[in-house]
Amino acid sequence: MLDSLRRWPWFAIALAPYPLLFIAASNPGQVDAASLLPTLAAAVAASLALLALLRLLLGDWLRAGLGVAWFLLLFFSYGPVNTRFDVAGSAADEGLAELHWAAENLQLVHSAIWLLLLMLGWSWLRRLRHPPGRLTAALNLMSVLLLVVAGVQWTAGRGARAEAASTDAVGPAATAGDAPDIYFIVLDGYARSDVLASHYAYDNGPFLRRLERLGFQVADASQANYSWTFLSLSSTLNMDYMQALLGDRLDPTAADRESAFRLLRDNRVAAFLRGRGYRFVHLQSTWGGTGSNPYADDFRRCGGGLFRDDYLLAVAEVSWLRAFGSQASLDLASCHLRNFETLAALGREPGPKFVLAHFVPPHHPYLFDRDGRVIRNANLSNQFEFQKKLWEDRQAYIDQLAFVSGKAEDAIARLIADSKRSPVILLVSDHGPNLRRGIEGADYNRLRLANLSAVRLPGAFAQPLPEDISNVNLMRVVLDRLFAAGLPSLPDRHFVSDYRQPFDFTEVDGNGVPVETAASSADNM
């Protein structure tokens, strides 16, 4: 056995599946065996084929094993390094003409560098004196250990899925009959009108007035309940606060978002409406929480290249396959445009249906100018790079916001015109912008929670909404008016947290002041 460890490069086979298992283990509960096992088998087969080829080129099995390991290192480091080199936007902004060509052809340049490094490494191995057996044994033991640890982590993660949301308190089931379609349209990070005026010098009044002419009520003082997308959408679609939804499972020190993702996808609103004859239609987004949904009755994809499976998309994004761009992964601009078309066409389809459509814009990356021209091609892995800096690019944010507003308005107008019964439409944002430069404390919290909230309730259901309605009550109001569901509004509460510990909540008031601080100040007056 010891002689085998010294003589045979088992590590060349074991290292191939390790990164694939690591990616699966890093996304607990989201990668099933049907996606993972064929990928692992393909990786092992490819590494064996490469090992046999390098045995002929490099002269012996040990050199060939090191050659496979060198290839795997380059293959799986391509994505992370490529993200660091993604300077197309900054090069243009800074007028660095000498970098412009390289930035625009980043994948070609990066792949050429990686090919050169690969050839240099293999050439060095060919001239290397016989590799020591101790090195081979050490690499064999290390690779097997890594593989076992990653496998155990993935297996444990498969059993860590959260329990489904309870739907006990949403009234008895009934037949929908001629109930209207319900559209929940989320524009990520879309700021409230007063914030756009004060911090972006942008008048959003014309757009809001056009929405009002289409039958919308716009809540001028609306606020989100949470400062992060996955918390906000999970709370909104389950009509309750995360503290109540998670109960004893809430861990302030945790960073795992799977429980919230499960609540978002398998939500109370969809369960309530499904019990009344509705079909749950979910449009694929470019963000992880709404990028897939096995619980939807009808999941509409927005495209994709060679890899449609979410796990394979993740592998393509972090590996050398990223060089194929949208041919292997998902082009963000194309996805958003296709989703607007899909959304607009849904009015012609039979109902009743509940539609969830989450658009990442106006949140960065800034893909569109004000006229809808694509100014940048981006894939999934560079969607959220340099978050704090990109939020400060206020002109790019406004340009994309103006374009997205127009696309949303066009889609809504078509929905209203094509629907047999006047639809219910909620056009909201999950939170406000993440501006930080010169803004901190209560001011930052207030801006972060100041969101767009526009609701279209047709006919007799269109009684005035509270101007300061928060997201947690939106669906409560809609379902109570349409179905007499017995869902009273909850007290409006607001919570902020750090992204690294998103469940460690600090409650703030409507002005962004921590509640304990505000109470102490009142006591001292």
Let me know: does 268 contact 356? Beta carbons within 8 Å.
Answer: no
26-85 pLDDT tens trace: 665 556 677 778 888 888 999 999 999 998 988 888 888 889 999 999 888 887 777 666
Q: Tokens 């992060």, residue? A: 228
Amino acid in the structure at residue 223:
Q
User: What six digits make up the tokens of 403?
Assistant: 């374009």
Which residues of the chain, if any, have pLDDT below 70? 1-7, 26-32, 83-105, 131-133, 156-177, 304-314, 317, 322, 324-330, 377-389, 460, 517-525
Please, is 331 exposed, middle or buried when counting C-beta atoms within 10 Å of its C-beta (0-12, 13-18, 19+)? buried
User: What six digits make up the tokens of 95?
Assistant: 């007028």
d(Cα 15, Cα 75) in Å, to the nearest integer? 12
d(Cα 357, Cα 348) in Å, to the nearest integer? 17
CA dihedral 28, 382, 334, 180 (to 10 degrees): 50
Let me know: does 385 contact 83? Beta carbons within 8 Å.
Answer: yes
d(Cα 311, Cα 305) in Å, to the nearest integer? 13
- Planar angle of CA 335, 339, 340, nearest 5 degrees: 125
DSSP secondary structure letter of residue 191: B
Let me know: does 68 contact 50? Beta carbons within 8 Å.
Answer: yes
Nearest CA to 358 out of 377, 375, 380, 343 is that of: 343
Using DSSP's 3-state secondary structure scheme, residue 143 falls into helix
